[in-house]
Structure 1
Amino acid sequence: MKKNRIYTFLLAGALPFLLVSCFAAKDYEQPEIIKDENFRTDSLPQDSITMADVSWKDLFTDAVLQQHIDEGLQNNIDIRVALQQIIAAEAYLKQGKAGYFPSLSGNASLTHQEVSSNSQFGGLNSSLDQYELSANLSWEADIWGKIRSNKRAYEAGYLQSVAAHQAVKTALVSNIASTYYQLLSLDEKKKVTEITIENREKSLETNKALKDAGNITEVGVKQTEAQLYTAKAILIDINNQIRLLENTMSILLGKEATAIARTDLENQEIETELKTGVPAQLLKNRPDLMAAEYSLRNAFELTNVARANFYPSLTLNATGGLQALSFDSLFDTNSLFANIIGGLTQPIFNKRQIRTQYEVAQSQQEQARLQFRQAFLIASKEVSDALYNYESSTDKIEVKQKEFEAYDLATQYSEELLNNGLANYLEVLTARENALNSRLDLISAKYSQLNSMVNLYEALGGGWK
């Protein structure tokens, strides 16, 4: 018995048409979104150096803060979720790379058929059994670049997940540093308020003595007592804010709420030179911008895939194996069979599905382009805002320092005059309140300066390197 081999080729007249264009896919080009003259950094020099290239370990010199950042990078939940997203994207990337390879499947089957007695062959066999052991191979030629575009889309998706992980790291480093500095400022405010309470308790005793001596009235004593309670209320609020911030910091570090170790505000200095670099560097330093562009590249390549669906696809299918009517003869050489089919499929009418997919892909690509543009505009705004805030807080520290010194001297002079019966107690109360508020504002200005530096570092894309 001769082997049955069937070779079917449905390619007649198709190759000349296929050779018209080897690739329907377009190549990605980065959109023009950067205009240096609109990048608002005013008097600060722009060069090829940017503080974003500085490691967070070199920027933040406080050893305790460094330990917190390192702990956060190891344990933060958002960081760990982002790592899992990278793993998922990597799996899709491997799938995209395998798109050029043929698919192979195996089949083992037993077919039992009960034949009708009234049928053509019913009188010969009442039933038929067929055993089959086969393998099927299928392969599609990437004539229009559809498989290549799919692979590139998966690559862009993977790189987007990596950039998203870097963006989470940047935000986490910034949030930990900002929260840490805020805790230090609250510690300083707490210290000032506690000293104020102690001084006002002493002043209350002094005013009671002055009242007994007839130098002031009961009103003056009650006003001083009220100021004491005001300071105690401020202390309660500060302690509450400290606890809440410690809880927030604990979440950033990926652990249960607990006390946070820290140093002092006065020891905090950032020695890194303030340099913003050139606007184009945002695209290679800011992870969120990189992620936005990879999203655009992904949408661009998927548009190529949707466009390629309009063109005919060339496929090759091969099936071979063993086939017999009885299991005993299944592994006989006469049971071998093979089929090879080459096919060219051109979509004609498919309920507008291909056209719809293409139009949706174009729309999604334009959305990704606009989102990329928006991300860059936001990035340039954040850089400008951080610069202005840093300059403003630096100037404000100098002014607030002078203001506090003036109020502090006014308080000392008015208290001396009151003790000698030469001043009105209302002047003393006003001077004390102004001195406390000015000192607290001075601490806030110092925190604002440090926080502005942190914000600038994040805005330029620092923290993930």
Structure 2
Amino acid sequence: MISIIKHRNFNKVALILVVALTLQSCFVAKDYERPDLKTETEALYRTENLPKDSLSMADVSWKTLFTDSYLQQYIEEGLQNNMDVRIAIQQMVAAEAYAKQGKAGYLPSLSIGPNYTHQEYSKNSQFGSIFSGGLDTYDITANLSWEADIWGKIRSNKRATQAAYLQSVAGHQAVKTQLISSIANTYFNLLALDAQLEVTKQTIATRESGVETIKALKEAGQVTQVAVDQNIAQYNSAKALQVDIETAIFKTENTLSILLGSVPQNFKRSSLDVQKIEETIKLGVPASLLRNRPDVMAAEYGLIQSFELTNVASSSFYPSLTLTASGGLQSLELADLFSSNSLFANIVGGLTQPLLNKRKLKTQKEVAVAQQEQALLQFKKTLLIAGNEVSNALFSYESEARKFEFRTNEVEALRTAEAHSEELLKNGYANYLDLLTARQSVLSAELNVIESTLQQLVNVVNLYEALGGGWK
């Protein structure tokens, strides 16, 4: 008789499992599809020569783009030790833990443990008249619970946690891209300051010699003391500029130290005139930003997460099928706990349909839909910003290349003017003010040429970052 009952119970449980597994095909959860971004990507780059080739300089490794051995060493060090990169890695670790938890959503919950219960009954109650002095119960119980994923809620939650993890991965990649760009720009800025310092020192030496020359001309009666004083003032102005540049170098080295995650120090480096970035400027089609820009990828993963959470909120309106079971050993006497007669078991399967819950489910659905729309708008905004950054970096690069030629011609013309003014002054055919003006203009022009050289390098780095290069 007992075996017949057990067989019937097994058949019922098997029937419930079959129904649960059959209903799992009835998903209400939708599959994510990337939104139509044709409008956003058609004219994303503001340039007269829209790229038709999918190849992008973002696919080039930073080790290939930057050939300076010192810079390569510092980038490698920064990727290992930078605090922002290390923080992003820990964010990835946390997101990965949630993703693993999401994958485990299909598994049942199982707990087991011993229990002791003592009950004191009222003497006037039904059991109090039987069990005088209270009742002790000992048991070792295992509890199992499993929910069938009928409507795709568990699957959608799993996908949401996976998207959150991939978003953290893309965030880590974005930090790497920004770090490489920051290290390169800071390094190039140091080289430019070194070059400006060298020009300033040469100017100081020239002006110191000029002071002696103008003093000799005064002794000869060709100029007045005013000319001597103004030459001395110009000399001291250059000395003050040297102090400013040395201060800027000191601060820039400290900035590089932070990027590398190290204590402030002096950094070995090459010179500005040997820096060459010979990689061909290739933008790739605008749609390539969807696979190259980490922040754009992170924004899309954020959209996917919101989409799947909307699926979860939608499936919460439908009934849930849950199977629960418990079993173990139970006895009134501790000595009899491990007897075969102490075995017990029960299983319960049922559908639960939410009806009245103070509008919680409807609110969750409305919030999820609104957050999904926010994520979509954020995705499109991030893509537009990426296109804007590419356009600005490209235009700046082309403009600076044109301007460099004019700056170089300006320096050559001013150097010639300075030499002529000095020669004419020595022979009494020019005013000392012409020489002072020429000298000051030459220094400014030479510093501008260095700045223009720096900006060309910086614009290539900025374009590389804007296209999503560096993290691969």
Please state which band the TM-score falls in when normalised by the shorter chain. over 0.9
Question: Residue 114 and residue 38 in structure 1: after superposition, are their counterparts in 2 closer, same or farther (change >3 A)?
Answer: closer
CA contact (8 A) 2:24 2:150 kept: no
Aligned to 2:33: 29
SS of alignment partner, residue 35 of structure 1: helix
Residue identity in the other structure for 1:74: Q
Aligned to 1:401: 408
Aligned equivalents of 1:85 and 1:245: distance in 2? 29
Aligned to 1:47: 53
Map Cα deviations across residues 407-440 of structure 1 (whole Å, 9 max, x no partner): 0100000001111111000111111111110110
Residue identity in the other structure for 1:430: T
Asked if 1:384 corresponds to 2:391, the answer is: yes
Aligned equivalents of 1:157 and 1:244: distance in 2? 38
Give the C-alpha shift of residue 95 in structure 1: 0.4
Aligned equivalents of 1:365 and 1:215: distance in 2? 82
Residue identity in the other structure for 1:261: K
| RMSD (Å), alpha carbons | 2.0
Map Cα deviations across residues 338-369 of structure 1 (whole Å, 9 max, x no partner): 11111111111101111111111111111111
Asked if 1:197 corresponds to 2:197, the answer is: no
Aligned equivalents of 1:170 and 1:207: distance in 2? 54
Question: Residue 165 and residue 38 in structure 1: after superposition, are their counterparts in 2 closer, same or farther (change >3 A)?
Answer: closer
Aligned to 2:441: 434
Residue identity in the other structure for 1:31: P
Asked if 1:88 corresponds to 2:99, the answer is: no
Bigger shift: residues 297-306 or 114-123: 114-123
Give aligned-pair identity as a percent. 59
Give the C-alpha shift of residue 44 in structure 1: 6.1
Unpaired stretches in structure 1, ≥5 consecutive residues: none
> How many residues are aligned here?
461
CA contact (8 A) 1:312 1:345 kept: yes
Bigger shift: residues 106-115 or 215-224: 106-115
SS of alignment partner, residue 43 of structure 2: helix
Aligned equivalents of 2:106 and 2:423: distance in 1? 90
CA contact (8 A) 2:44 2:384 kept: no
Give the C-alpha shift of residue 222 in structure 1: 1.1
SS of alignment partner, residue 138 of structure 2: strand
Asked if 1:206 corresponds to 2:210, the answer is: no
Residue identity in the other structure for 1:319: S
CA contact (8 A) 1:314 1:343 kept: yes
Aligned equivalents of 1:197 and 1:449: distance in 2? 27
Give the C-alpha shift of residue 2 in structure 1: 7.5
Asked if 1:421 corresponds to 2:428, the answer is: yes
TM-score (norm 2): 0.94
SS of alignment partner, residue 346 of structure 2: strand
Give the C-alpha shift of residue 124 in structure 1: 3.1
Aligned to 2:330: 323
Aligned equivalents of 2:127 and 2:318: distance in 1? 46
SS of alignment partner, residue 137 of structure 2: strand
CA contact (8 A) 1:312 1:347 kept: yes
Residue identity in the other structure for 2:449: L
CA contact (8 A) 1:2 1:334 kept: no
Aligned to 2:339: 332
Give the C-alpha shift of residue 38 in structure 1: 4.0
CA contact (8 A) 1:40 1:384 kept: yes
Aligned to 1:217: 224
Map Cα deviations across residues 152-194 of structure 1 (whole Å, 9 max, x no partner): 0011011111111111110000000000000000000000000
Map Cα deviations across residues 96-122 of structure 1 (whole Å, 9 max, x no partner): 110011110113111111223333333
